[in-house]
Amino acid sequence: MRRAHPLAAAVLGGLCLLPLLWPQGAVQGATGIAPLPAHQPRRVVSINLCTDQLAMMMAGPGQLVSVSHLAGDPTYSTMPEAAAAYPANRGLAEEVYLLKPDLVLAGAYSDFATVEMLRRLGIRVEVFPPAASLDEVRAGIAAMGQALGQGARAREMLDGFDQRRAALPDHPGPRPTAATYAADGYVSGARSLAGEIVTAAGFRHLAADLGMEQGGFLPLEALVMARPDLVILGEDIEGAARAEEVLHHPALQKVAGDRGRIEDRDWICGLPSVLDAVERLARLHDPAGTP
């Protein structure tokens, strides 16, 4: 639905790294930040969009010292304003090493060579898999709390997540069909985070009807013939890539309209904000059974 998946986006320069090379005590003395307990990592660097955001939500004062450049891009990130407070990195082993981290947060699709090099240099690297369900969102929050030594913050976040999840409306009876449709005709799988969002909002995912559990590419003609009740598209972006031309095809526009346009950034990572996406989509669901 965007120009490209965040993990494949063009690499941008990381600036403002020099202050992070100061001795830690000098930084704390200048800012008045209290020392972290001994069991908590004190200099954490995140090199993945999803770990960036979870860490910004959960880290203690002065604990997180750098996030990836994607965290500041509002196209992909739900927290670009918060990310502006941190120096950005490009996920390169050399620059991460110079930040002197005692913990690096990475994703399953982070550069393998970077992760292995940092580990060979004796730096602890925690790799977080992408969430494919709401239960896995919970697991990711708990894992981040453990990695950062921020158990109390993680429990508070999980309590809020569970309360919001329990408050989602039930949708008994027949469910209307919804399909996600992205660049090049990509349809998210029934067993994906997007699939779970669609189901939690009270729809039946077209991918499940088509046997596309892991996602795949669906010709526009097949989508139109399937006649889903709702087609969920991404937001329009200026200068869209050629792969997104299908999203502006008259036939698709006739089927989709504007009701199902979404903010993709809430669907990318396993964050509490996935419930925002569920709630917005649920508002398109009519109790009578039609969106």
Whether 290 has a pLDDT exceeding 60, the answer reads: no
Per-residue pLDDT tens for 111-124?
Answer: 999 999 999 999 99
Mean pLDDT of 125-149: 97
CB atoms within 10 A of CB 280: 14
pLDDT band per the 50, 70, 90 thresholds, residue 6: very low
Whose tokens are 């972006």? That residue is 237
Q: How confident is the model at residue 133 (pLDDT cuts 50, 70, 90)?
A: very high
98-107, 175-184, 240-249, range with greatest mean pLDDT: 98-107
127: its two tokens: 């790799």
CATH of domain 177-282: 3.40.50.1980
| Homologous superfamily of domain range 39-165 | Nitrogenase molybdenum iron protein domain (3.40.50.1980)
Nearest to 125 by CA among 141, 111, 140: 111
Q: What single-letter DSSP state applies at residue 261?
A: B
Query: Which residues of the chain are in CATH 3.40.50.1980 domains?
Result: 39-165, 177-282
- Least Cα distance to 104 among 90, 115, 117 occurs for 115
Q: Position 282: which residue type? A: A
Q: For the purposes of burial, counting CB atoms within 10 Å of the CB of 230, is it exposed (0-12), middle (13-18) or buried (19 or more)?
A: buried
Coil vs helix vs strand at 92: coil
Give the tens place of pLDDT for each residue, 151-170. 999 999 999 999 999 999 88
Strands 216-217 and 186-187: antiparallel
pTM greater than 0.85:
no
Phi, psi of 40 (to 5 degrees): -95, 140
For the stretch 195-210, pLDDT in tens is 999 999 999 999 999 9
Task: Give the highest mean pLDDT range of 22-31, 44-53, 191-200, 224-233.
Answer: 44-53
